[in-house]
């Protein structure tokens, strides 16, 4: 998972993902996943260079992509997909 700011990428926590305080505006990047054939990794890679609208941790901006990032983290840590992990 990367952001357009290396410092933010290094310091983003799970709570930042789930509290939607990444710096991206609400629904930023949603057109990358809705109705496309991109897999989760490709969606996050394509969105990585999208500039922030807000300073990191400053404003709320709901993003479905942050749940995709959280799912990728769960898979990396547990070895299970999101679906396997929550059931």
Q: 18-73: per-residue pLDDT in tens? A: 999 999 999 888 777 788 889 989 999 999 999 999 999 999 999 999 999 999 99
Residue 77 lies in a domain: yes
Average pLDDT (71-84) is 94
Residue 14 lies in a domain: yes
How many domains does the structure of the chain reveal? 1
Helices assigned H by DSSP within 6-63: 6-11, 14-19, 40-47
Prediction pTM value: 0.84
Residue 1 lies in a domain: no
Question: What is the C-alpha R_g of the chain?
Answer: 13
Residue 38 lies in a domain: yes
The pLDDT of residue 70 is 94
The pLDDT of residue 87 is 87
| Residue span of the structural domain in which 72 resides | 6-86
The pLDDT of residue 50 is 93
């Amino acid at each position: 998972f990367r952001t357009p700011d290396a410092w933010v990428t290094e310091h983003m926590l799970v709570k930042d993902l789930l509290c939607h305080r990444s710096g991206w505006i609400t629904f930023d990047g949603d057109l990358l996943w809705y109705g496309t054939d991109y897999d989760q990794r490709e969606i996050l890679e394509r969105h990585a260079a999208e500039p922030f609208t807000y300073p990191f941790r400053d404003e709320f901006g709901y993003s479905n992509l942050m749940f995709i990032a959280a799912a990728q983290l769960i898979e990396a840590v547990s070895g299970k997909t999101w679906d396997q992990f929550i059931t």
